[in-house]
Amino acid sequence: MVLNNKTILLTGGVGSFGSKFVEVVLAKYSPKAIRVFDINELKEVEMERKFQDERLRFFIGDIRDKDRLKRAMKDVDIVVHAAALKHITVCEYNPIEAIKTNIQGAINIVEAAIDAGVGKIIALSTDKAVYPVNLYGASKMVMEKIIVQGNSYAGKNNTRFACTRYGNVVGSSGSVAPLFREQAKTGKITITDEKMTRFWITLEQGVEFVVKCLELMRGGEIFVPKIPSMKIMDLAEVAAPEAKKEIIGIRPGEKLHEALITAEEAKHVKEHDNYFTIEPEFPFWGEFKTENEGKPLPDGFQYTSDKNTRWLTKEELKEIIQ
């Protein structure tokens, strides 16, 4: 198994994904060590107290600081890059900070990993990176380009980079479900547009998908899971059935629907049973042949939240958010 007896560096280690990654990996796999890399001192202390596991190491550090990353990556086998500024409104109001973290931070990850001889690096992206309409999405689109092209910078080095790209994560910071429940206490919730749809995935599903992609990756791929969509009005009714619903209009930088694969990308995408692989357009890629190559997509294919073939029912939504 890819994680067994390996030393893993986890950036953004005390965030929503990072905390769940630590929980799942310690319980299901046998890593040699997980280095939790984050700038949040208090949450690192709280995580250390919660798990009390000798396989955990805690590094105070910022991905903007390449020297600190280099030190943290010494003798590391795998990097899971989850650190980011991710709140849309925060990134819009602080664009330079978003660029320093989401873009310069990715550059630092690539350079530090190559210098340290790390074997595999996988970075977390988002549906907001597809046809981006806000700075957060644009910065994650650039991050994807940097990570994928990191393989070219690695050259004949054995270091390999890949990305995962998926939709809204249930229960993550900024998720709409906790917001609806909090607003419901006032008797009213706000909805931007009643026609809105979103892809949805749970934190644990996200972690397991990242682990699976670490097993599958050859370098340069963007992996996209097949996940269900949900209707915002269904979620509102489940999360706050008694509350008044007020439609306030779409906020700046927000989309009515989200996309995970564009028609342009579909030309070099392979479909598998439970996921898609956006293959890199590198000359060397044709050298890779496996038993499970997947099948090509039809011309004009797009993977969007409003045209999905799998939808969460109200009953499923209720079970998930509880």
In angstroms, rounded to a whole number, what is the distance separating the alpha carbons of residues 108 and 37? 14
In sequence order, what are the residues at sequence separation of 6 or more whose Cβ sits closer than 8 angstroms to the Cβ of residue 290?
A: none
Cα–Cα distances in angstroms (integers) from residue 18 to residues 136, 252, 319, in the given order: 19, 28, 23
Q: Indicate if 74 belongs to the active site.
A: no
Residue 158: other Cβ atoms inside 10 A: 10
Query: Which position among 20, 86, 120, 128 bears the catalytic label?
Result: 128
In angstroms, rounded to a whole number, what is the distance separating the alpha carbons of residues 230 and 207? 20
The token pair that represents 44 in the structure block: 């690192």
| Cβ-based burial of 89 (10 A; exposed 0-12, middle 13-18, buried ≥19) | middle
The token pair that represents 182 in the structure block: 């909090």
- How does DSSP classify residue 57? E
What is the H or E stretch that residue 165 is in? strand 160-166
In angstroms, rounded to a whole number, what is the distance separating the alpha carbons of residues 257 and 305? 6
Helix (H, G, I), strand (E, B) or coil at 278: strand
Closest CA to 80 of 135, 127, 20, 129: 20
Active-site residue list: 128
